[in-house]
Amino acid sequence: MSEHETELGHLIQRRLSRRSLLKGLSMMAAGAALPIREAAAAERSSLGFDAVPLTFDTTHHVAPGYRADRLISWGDPVLAKAPAYDYKAQSAARQAGQFGYNNDFTAYLPLEGNVRGLLCVNHEYTDPQLMFPGMDRKNAVDKVTEAQARVEMEAHGHTVIEIVKTRQGWQTRPDGKYNRRITATTPCSVGGPAAGHRRMKTPDDPTGRRVLGTFANCSGGTTPWGTVLTAEENIDFYFINAPAAEKQNHERYGIAKLTLFSWHKFDRRFRLDEAPNEPNRHGWLVEIDPYDPTATPIKRTALGRFAHESGTVTLNHDNRVVVYSGDDKRFEYLYRYVSKHAYDPTKAERNKTLLDDGVLSVAKFHDDGTVEWLPLVHGYGPLTEKNGFADQGDVLIETRRAADLVGATQMDRPEDVGVEENSGRVYVALTNNDQRTTTNAANPRSKNDHGHIVELTVPRRGRGFDHAAKTVSWGLFLLGQDPTNAPRAPQYIAAAAPPSTTLGLLALGASKSKRGVDTLLDDGERRLGKQRGEIGAHFTEDGVLSCPDNFAFDPSGRLWITTDGQDKVGVADSLYATDTSGPGRAKARRFFNAPRGAEVSGPSFTPDGKTLFVCVQHPAQERTSTFDAPSTRWPDFVDGAPPRPSVLAIEKEDGGPVGS
């Protein structure tokens, strides 16, 4: 057995304790076995497409029977009267009305059902060596001019653009009345406990309530009231000259440790000897109203400050709003916010403040298969003035240090979070962590090069689920593997929770008696390795994935997973799909491959599931690739022109639902 299989075998033995199995048996008596029976009735995976072979070349590839049409690319017009893309005539003024760079998150918000809507897209960062001639990765920071830096600032942030489905496919409408660009120079307001806080005040904003710009926008989420959350992630790369003021805080966030942008040369906000509090004003989830182009984006500080990969929103059984978010750095944490008040579709004004008043918690994973949510509230445990937290604003500005002190579980780069609304299960992408030497139950592999996915099972309450529960159950859903060396041995998958574990084992024929449970436990890995179902071993018939990143659920409840890091083993990053129950559970099937140097991100569906939007960001981002000599000129393939990050609209050629 390999090292990871041995470690995971030990994990399974810990997870399948007699106590948890017997607890699950009592729950089954109350009728909890129904989902397993339904899953067992299926004879095969629900996926109806053939897997795309592994590739690593200059273009993209989609499953047979599908087409992937380019919808919009960096530099295309977004605002009315914005100029067409011209890589030889870039300026900040032009870029301010054009589609930004490195598109990441997408969300489709309907205007007319499945044929007309708003596409909301994040722009995470810029690659100056691919945007401008005459530079490479090593000298870009020094060579970027002020005019080019201003272009970069306008290429960050978020885009809202109207799109419509025609006989020729999906098209943008640059004259749409909702179209908008939000950039690193767009005024934003601050909401929640840190608004007006002493540590949010700067020379340019003595109120601490008005922030210029949002940047490093990675993934995000949508709210029940029709707004978008854009997640500020890697803000640490934009600043220099960390002074003694805020030293402990800046060090915990890696501020100014590595500067990848030249903005500090032209804007004092990014020089910390002049504005030591400026980083405190970034690293938040920002709420945008795409239906109101005049609405000011709001940084929702109650949701915490860290490298937000996403802001996944769901409703609790009592209609309180729940937001899940991962902190995308090695050894960081998984967070959950629960609003104080319930969402009410008849009270639009109150809904606007639901993300300002609630409790932020951080996850502690236990070996017994439970997750304990630890509140990050001033006065709770060590979160006191003695430890540098004078108020709740301090706790939120230094969310990471607060999580350290309460004893949260360090994770392997927690990125996107997905909620399957029908089952209430929550999926967490752990992309990788090649620096891990000490394992724990939720991160069972040292030098975790390929990542994994954790599954949380939330208790049912009436017709809904209790996402606000202090304790929930967890299990491993999928372990990433090198896709060029798919394992011949079975891959063990722990169940999502003690109840589900029990039900899965019983579906394999175990007796309901304690003796039957003991016998099955004594059989150990041999039994698990032979069976297939909600728990046990499976062979990945279509391929495995490495480095899971972003999630989306289609209307049929299938989980779609993008990757970020498969290029380490010489293959393109991809988009996969899998069932979350039945024989197809955790069997990843490749649906789409990116061109070389690129990452697939931000999958989202139209409500009918017949269109899948995906981002291809940073094509040609390889060590020696430059504007003058890129490794691919995707998607234009025009001599002399640079590659362009783009959004694709993928549809089935026969018009049916994607994936079926």
What's the confidence (pLDDT) of residue 609? 98
pLDDT above 70 for 507: no
Nearest alpha-carbon partner for 230 in 417, 397, 105: 105
- What does the pLDDT look like over 401-442, one tens digit per residue? 999 999 999 999 999 999 999 999 999 999 999 999 999 999
Give yes or no for residue 42 having a pLDDT over 90.
no
Asked whether the predicted pLDDT for residue 489 surpasses 80, the reply is no
For the cut 70, the answer to whether the pLDDT of residue 510 exceeds it is no
pLDDT at residue 67 greater than cutoff 70: yes
Listed in sequence order, the residues at least 6 apart from 31 whose beta carbon sits closer than 8 Å to its beta carbon are none
pLDDT in tens, 99-133: 999 999 999 999 999 999 999 999 999 999 999 99
Shortest CA distance to 255 belongs to which of 276, 230, 285?
276
Task: Measure the CA dihedral 113/117/122/123, to 10°.
Answer: 150
On average, the pLDDT of the chain sits at 87
pLDDT class for 38, splitting at 50, 70, 90?
A: very low
Q: Comparing 518 with 610, which gets the higher pLDDT?
A: 610
Taking the C-alpha atoms of residue 515 and residue 494, their distance in angstroms, rounded to an integer, is 22
Which of 208-217, 340-349, 473-482, 507-516 has the lowest average pLDDT? 507-516
CB-based contact 314:254 (threshold 8 Å): no
Gap between the Cα atoms of 535 and 500, Å rounded: 8
Is the pLDDT at 556 greater than 70? The verdict is yes
For residue 514, the model assigns a pLDDT of: 30
Residue 33 pLDDT? 34
pLDDT-based confidence at residue 542 (cuts at 50, 70, 90): low
Beta bridge partners of 315: 321
Residue 121 contacts residue 103 (beta carbons within 8 Å): yes
Opening angle at CA 605, ends 602 and 609, nearest 5:
150
What are the b/e assignments for 241-262, b being 16+ CB within 10 Å? ebeeebeebbeebbbbeebebb
Tokens of 65: 């029977």
- Confidence band for 60, pLDDT divided at 50, 70 and 90: very high
Q: So what's the pLDDT on residue 543? A: 58
Q: What percent of the chain has pLDDT over 90?
A: 83
What is the value of pTM for the model shown?
Answer: 0.88
